[in-house]
Amino acid sequence: MDASLRKRILLVDDHLVVRESLVLLLAQRMPELRFVEAASLMQAQLVLGSMGDIDLVLLDLDLPDSRGLATLTALRATAPGVPVVATACR
């Protein structure tokens, strides 16, 4: 598959093991996906601001620099047209 046609997923989670596990799991099942990782809201906003080709965000709502729905609100303000799947675990 042409790399320009592959969907790009932004994984936003402050736990490296979670990001790595999601990449492994999803890449095995959907090898056409490409992944970009961020460990904080600030990093995610930088990625979204600099890359115009993010197709989906998988977002942990409990990040070191933002918590809860404020995280989602801030992310949506940066990239309002990008779909977001939010998760929260405690």
88: pLDDT strictly greater than 90: no
Of the candidates 58, 19, 56, 54, the residue with the CA atom closest to the CA atom of residue 39: 19
Mean of the per-residue pLDDT values for the chain?
91
Q: What's residue 2's pLDDT?
A: 63
Homologous superfamily of the 3-87 domain (CATH): Response regulator (3.40.50.2300)
Place of tokens 């600099």: 50
pLDDT band at 90 (very low <50, low <70, confident <90, very high): low
* Strand 56-60 versus strand 34-38 pairing type: unpaired
5: pLDDT strictly greater than 80: no
Place of tokens 């998760």: 87
Place of tokens 């990449």: 23
Neighbouring residues of 26: CB distance < 8 A, sequence distance ≥ 6 = 9, 33, 35
pLDDT in tens, 20-48: 999 999 999 999 999 999 999 999 999 99
Q: What's residue 73's pLDDT?
A: 92
Q: Can you point out the beta strands (E) in 1-90?
A: 8-12, 34-38, 56-60, 62-63, 66-67, 84-87
